[in-house]
């Protein structure tokens, strides 16, 4: 059963030195800032946004990959990184995170209820490696 539709926003910490409050986020700035990427495994460094950027001949700097939106929000509020996160989550961090409209088209997603049989597999998936943070080779000094 469909509960709601959610949109993504760009999140940076309040007072971020690379973002001017009230000014739209430029694509050049978006690509230049270090990013935290949310990936189910926590160690992928390319996502849906990267496919959109590639079609425009652009690339972003993904510095960290984490398996949850909450982990990304916590990292972003303590750093100069940027993350593309659900808008409702960013609103929960009002006073710590600032929501900006993405400078490129980003798909929305739906939130729906699922049956208990589906939860068994979900619980198993969330139970493995939920506290992992992976750093990209570029920021480890590797290739």
User: Taking all residues of the chain, what is their mean pLDDT, rounded to a whole number?
Assistant: 80
Q: 86-95, pLDDT tens digit by residue? A: 999 999 999 9
- Distance, in Å, from the CA atom of 137 to the CA atom of 73, rounded to the nearest integer, reads 22
Q: Give which of 48, 24, 26, 21 is closest to 37, Cα–Cα.
A: 48
- Where in the chain are the domains? 9-104
- Distance, in Å, from the CA atom of 80 to the CA atom of 69, rounded to the nearest integer, reads 17
Q: Give me the pLDDT at residue 45, please.
A: 82
- The CATH architecture to which 9-104 belongs is 3-Layer(aba) Sandwich (3.40)
Lowest mean pLDDT among 20-34, 38-52, 58-72, 102-116: 102-116
Lowest mean pLDDT among 17-21, 27-31, 47-51, 129-133: 129-133
Q: Give me the pLDDT at residue 124, please.
A: 41
Q: Give me the pLDDT at residue 114, please.
A: 67
């Amino acid at each position: 059963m469909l509960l709601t539709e959610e949109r993504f926003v760009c999140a940076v910490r309040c007072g971020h030195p690379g973002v001017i409050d009230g000014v739209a986020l430029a694509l050049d700035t978006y690509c230049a800032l270090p990013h935290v990427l949310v990936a189910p495994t926590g160690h992928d460094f390319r996502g849906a946004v990267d496919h959109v950027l590639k079609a425009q001949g652009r690339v972003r700097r993904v510095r960290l990959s984490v398996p949850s939106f909450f982990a990304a929000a916590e990292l972003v509020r303590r750093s100069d990184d940027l993350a593309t996160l659900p808008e409702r989550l960013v609103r929960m961090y009002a006073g710590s995170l600032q929501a900006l409209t993405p400078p490129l088209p980003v798909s929305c997603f739906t939130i729906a209820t699922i049956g208990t049989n589906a939860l068994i597999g979900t619980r198993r998936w969330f139970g493995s490696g939920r506290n992992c943070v992976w750093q990209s080779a570029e920021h480890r000094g590797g290739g």
